Structure 1
Amino acid sequence: MSIQTIRLFGDPVLVTPSNLVVDFDKELRNLVRDLTETMQAAPGAGLAAPQIGVPLRVFVWDVDEELGHLINPTLDLSADLQEGEEGCLSFPELRYETPRAFRAVAKGFNMHGEPVTVEGTELLARC
């Protein structure tokens, strides 16, 4: 496992649709670990696989001392919005007031292929 280079705005991988994960294998577990180490080293609250050049539907987060990951996520967002300053590791040093859903429910899988549901509000809902 290792810290990877974060792709920046303008990199085509950031605007290319990502692929579903179909193999829940050692390579996927290594990807989750690389994403986590890279996010924490940056530091950031969340990081998706395309941000390190891997076009797969995988993301990790570290919010309010909760570290997690989700594979092939789907989202259900509340209609209630929150305004807050937001940044992105692929746009370093830029932060903007951005409206986002106040509450989000994300469903997907963990790195072992087991179903996972994550419910979050405020910052976790933003990730």
Structure 2
Amino acid sequence: MTIRPIVRYPDPRLALPAQPVTVFDGALRELASDLLETMHAAPGIGITAPHIGISLRVVVLDLDPVDGARTYVNPEIIWASPEMILHQEGSVSMPGVNDDIRRHARVRIGYRDIDGNAQTEESGGLRAVCHQHEIDQLNGVFWIQRLSRLKRERLVKRFEKLSRG
């Protein structure tokens, strides 16, 4: 397990759609392990391969001390509830700032596990928010794009000021 450098906003790689994983092997397991280690060091609760500069559709979430971390390969939202919620979001690529984002209250995703087996998962609340946030990132949509232009500009200024620190 290795802590990898995190790609920081406004790196253009964060705006690129990630490529599907086609090979389920030791290298994928190592990537998932490195993502988990990097996310914990950040610290964060979710991370994607693009956050460390690797254009693959891999997400690691660690939301529940009982369930532990989960790896989602090639995740896609296959259903979203009509009900919406506001939830405060941020990113390991933009530490120190966050804002409320409107998301679906519940989602169902289809994905592959680390061994390549097809899975589905339905979630609500924080896990649903995280699925949407990280799948957006895999699609090249950085979370601040979900904010109004004014809120986004203010947040970017705040992040730049923090970065100059």
Q: TM-score range by the shorter chain?
A: over 0.9
Q: With structure 2 as the length reference, what TM-score do the two structures score?
A: 0.74
Greater CA radius of gyration, 1 or 2?
2
Larger fraction in strand: 1
Equivalent position SS for 1:92 = coil
Q: For 1:106-121, list aligned pairs within 5 A.
A: 106-121=109-124
Distance (whole Å) between structure 2 residues aligned to residue 85 and residue 74 of structure 1 = 22
Q: C-alpha displacement at 1:123, in angstroms?
A: 0.5
Q: C-alpha displacement at 1:87, in angstroms?
A: 1.1
Q: For 1:46-125, list aligned pairs within 5 A.
A: 46-65=46-65, 66=67, 67-75=69-77, 76-125=79-128
Spell out structure 1 runs of 4+ moving beyond 4 A. Answer: none
Instruction: Say whether the 8 Å CA contact 2:87–2:129 is kept in structure 1.
Output: no
What runs of 5+ residues in structure 1 fail to find an aligned partner? none
Count of residue pairs brought into register by the alignment:
127
Q: With structure 1 as the length reference, what TM-score do the two structures score?
A: 0.95
What runs of 5+ residues in structure 2 fail to find an aligned partner? 131-165
Q: C-alpha displacement at 1:64, in angstroms?
A: 2.6
Instruction: Say whether the 8 Å CA contact 1:24–1:112 is kept in structure 2.
Output: yes
Equivalent position SS for 2:30 = helix
